[in-house]
Amino acid sequence: MDGDVVLVIVVATALVFDFTNGFHDTANVVATSISTHALSPRVAVGMAALFNFAGAFISIEVAATIASDVVDAAAITPTVIFAGLVGAISWNLITWYFGLPSSSSHALIGGVVGAVIAAVGTSAVEGEGILGKVLIPAVVAPVVAFVIGAIAIIIAYRICARLRPGPVTRGFRLGQIVSGGMLALAHGTNDAQKTMGVITLALIANGNLPSTGFHIPTWVIVASASAIALGTYTGGWRIIRTMGTRIIKMDSAQGFSAQGAGAAVILASSHFGFPLSTTQVIAGGVMGSGAGVRVSAVRWGVAGNIVAAWFLTLPAAAAIGAASYAFTSIFGDGAAGPVILSVLAIMLGLTLFARRIRQGQPVPTV
Amino acid sequence: MSLGTFIHVLPGSVVDTEALLDSVLASLVAGVFVTVTASVAIFGFATAAEMQRNGRDLAAIGAGVLAAVATLAFAGAIVLGIAVMIHG
């Protein structure tokens, strides 16, 4: 009975994480479309939510990686996964509150790994899976996006060099409707699958699903798709300023190149089951499309701050995940710990929201 | 797997290099192809409009055809990408 209560809490928490993931990452997905005036903020966010929802249905490779290649599902309990989720959500909220771009994906993996280490030690951590399917692709993907963004903008400028700027700007703004949609689709497919993977992991840990023969129940896919889409629609306007204009000042061709590079990398990686940080990939594309025109156009100082925030994500989320598990274990193995921690986390989250609202609405436009 | 073992694992032995390279190659081809087709389409449409204004109808038709082909290639690449994702 206690196990089922905890499982319900885990599923609810995973969906909250999915919501915060969409909420947090909206800015990354729509910033380029908004900053080049290809789309109004409202349309961009609405479109991103729609494509996030659709994207969740097109692949399950990333979910399989999360459920089987990060930690040993047979060695952990739903409470451990819950603690990991608390670590991820807390880090997402902290970085949102301070306006720092971060990686929801790395926060999730960091949180879960931290909680697992606190609960059963390093023996249940799939080190090879984390290294081969998470860490190395995490380093490679933004670099590839940077290179594609740079090549793409050089080609685009060469082809359109002799044209008047008006039609070129209008053309690439139209193109950005497609590339922005693809980027949102890519974001939906990679990020929603992480939640699907975590819920599936909890179902396996609780004995509701067999540990062999990977399968995601349809309700998990629909719930994950809905949560990320709702989170995206609710939006994280505050970070738009950082991603959209503080890295480089973009024109529509650069916006198109950056979005195309990001979408191509995320979709291809999703196909091969690599759970990427969509934030890092998009930032790589944005910087590449700036550097392809003029290296000095990229505000590397801001990019450096963002990179520093990325390096903090895994250890910080892991530390919070571990602390969350330690806290729940004070109350024994039953549902009391997760229930008490949930109440405290909700109170803390509401306090942060209230403070943010009192300090003024996040940035509505760029 | 202990932390010590984790630290000593060589990347080459745990990374599916083929999948990683395929992923990089697919990203590169898709990203560049989509940009080239979109740019050519914009070039074609803008050139066709300019030629038409200048009374060069034949050149306008040629540029229009180029734009249409590039637009189809652009749309085809998007559809193909999604189809590959869905059908694995």
Q: Is residue A304 part of a domain?
A: yes
CB contact B55 to A (< 8 Å): no
Average pLDDT, chain A: 86
Given a contact cutoff of 8 angstroms between Cβ atoms, the answer to whether A225 and A53 are in contact is yes
In a domain, A363, yes or no: no
The pLDDT tens digits for A7-54 are 999 999 999 889 988 887 777 788 888 888 888 888 888 899 999 999
Domain membership of residue A229 as a residue range:
2-358
CA distance A102 to chain B (A): 23
Q: Which chain B residues have a beta carbon less than 8 Å from that of A314?
A: none
At A187, which amino acid appears? H
Percent pLDDT > 70 in chain A is 91
Tell me what pLDDT residue A350 has: 83
Q: Can you give the pLDDT at residue A309?
A: 65
The answer to whether residue A213 is domain-embedded is yes
Confidence class for position A246, pLDDT limits 50, 70, 90 = low
pLDDT tens digits along A313-341: 889 999 999 999 999 999 887 888 889 99
Task: Flag the least confident range among A184-193, A210-219, A239-248, A301-310.
Answer: A239-248
Contact B27 A145 (CB under 8 A): yes
Q: Which residues of A touch B60 (CB under 8 A)?
A: none
Spell out a b/e string for A185-198, using b for 16 or more CB atoms within 10 Å of the CB, else e: bbbbbbbbbbbbbb
The answer to whether the Cβ–Cβ distance between A271 and B85 falls below 8 Å is yes
**CB-based contact A318:A114 (threshold 8 Å):** yes
| Contact between B6 and A125 using a beta-carbon 8 Å cutoff | yes
H, E, C per residue of chain A: CHHHHHHHHHHHHHHHHHHHHHHHHHHHHHHHHHHCCCCCHHHHHHHHHHHHHHHCCCCCHHHHHHHHCCECHHHCCHHHHHHHHHHHHHHHHHHHHCCCCCCHHHHHHHHHHHHHHHHHCHHHECHHHHHHHHHHHHHHHHHHHHHHHHHHHHHHHHHCCCCCHHHHHHHHHHHHHHHHHHHHHHHHHHHHHHHHHHHHHHHHHCCCCCCCCCCCCHHHHHHHHHHHHHHHHHCCHHHHHHHHHHCCCCCHHHHHHHHHHHHHHHHHHHHCCCCCCHHHHHHHHHHHHHHCCCHHHCCHHHHHHHHHHHHHHHHHHHHHHHHHHHHHHCCCCCCHHHHHHHHHHHHHHHHHHHHHHHCCCCCCCC
For residue A106, give Cα distances in angstroms to A45, A84, A134, B55: 23, 11, 9, 58
CA A342/CA A352 separation, integer angstroms: 15
pLDDT band at A312 (very low <50, low <70, confident <90, very high): confident
Q: Is A3 exposed, middle or buried (0-12, 13-18, 19+ CB in 10 A)?
A: middle
- Put simply, the answer to whether B28 touches A264 (Cβ < 8 Å) is yes
Higher pLDDT, A304 or A244: A304
Full pLDDT tens readout for chain B, 88 residues = 444 444 444 444 556 788 899 999 999 999 999 999 999 999 999 999 999 999 999 999 999 999 999 999 999 999 999 998 887 6
Residue of chain A nearest B24, judged by CA positions: A144
Q: Are A315 and A264 in contact (CB under 8 A)?
A: no
Facing residue for A132 by CB, picked from B16, B26, B39: B16
In the prediction, which pLDDT does A238 show?
A: 52
Q: Is residue B47 within 8 angstroms of chain A, CB to CB?
A: yes
Residue A119 pLDDT greater than 70, yes or no: yes
Predicted confidence at residue A363, as pLDDT, reads 39
Number of structural domains found in chain A? 1
B72 close to A (CB below 8 A):
no
Range with the poorest average pLDDT among A10-19, A69-78, A198-207, A260-269: A69-78
Q: Say how far residue A88 (Cα) sits from the centre of its chain.
A: 11
Q: Which residue type, as a one-letter code, is found at position B2?
A: S
- The pLDDT of residue B4 is 45
Chain A, 23-62: which have a CB under 8 Å from a chain B CB? Answer: 58-59, 61
| pLDDT of res. A311 | 80
How close B64 gets to chain A, by Cα (Å)? 14
Task: State which amino acid sits at residue A194.
Answer: K
A271 touches chain B (CB under 8 A): yes
pLDDT single digits (tens) A282-298: 888 988 999 988 888 77
Please give the residue that has the higher pLDDT: either A68 or A266: A266
What pLDDT, in 10s, does the model give residues A83-116?
Answer: 999 999 888 788 777 766 677 888 899 999 999 9
- How many beta-carbon contacts under 8 Å exist across A and B? 152
Its pTM stands at 0.86
What pLDDT, in 10s, does the model give residues A212-240?
Answer: 777 899 999 999 999 999 998 887 555 45
Q: Does A11 reach chain B within 8 Å, measured CB to CB?
A: no
Give ipTM to 2 decimals. Answer: 0.84
The reported pLDDT for the residue numbered A349 is 79
Inside any domain, residue A365: no
CA distance A258 to A193: 23
User: Would you state the pLDDT for residue A241?
Assistant: 52
- DSSP symbols for B34-72: HHHHHHHHHHHHHHHHHHHHTT-HHHHHHHHHHHHHHHH
CA A349 to chain centre: 19
Chain A partners within 8 Å of B38 (Cβ): 156, 171-172, 175, 256, 260
Rounded Cα distance between B79 and B76, Å, is 5
- Nearest CA to A27 out of A248, A184, A227, A191 is that of A184
pLDDT value for B6: 44
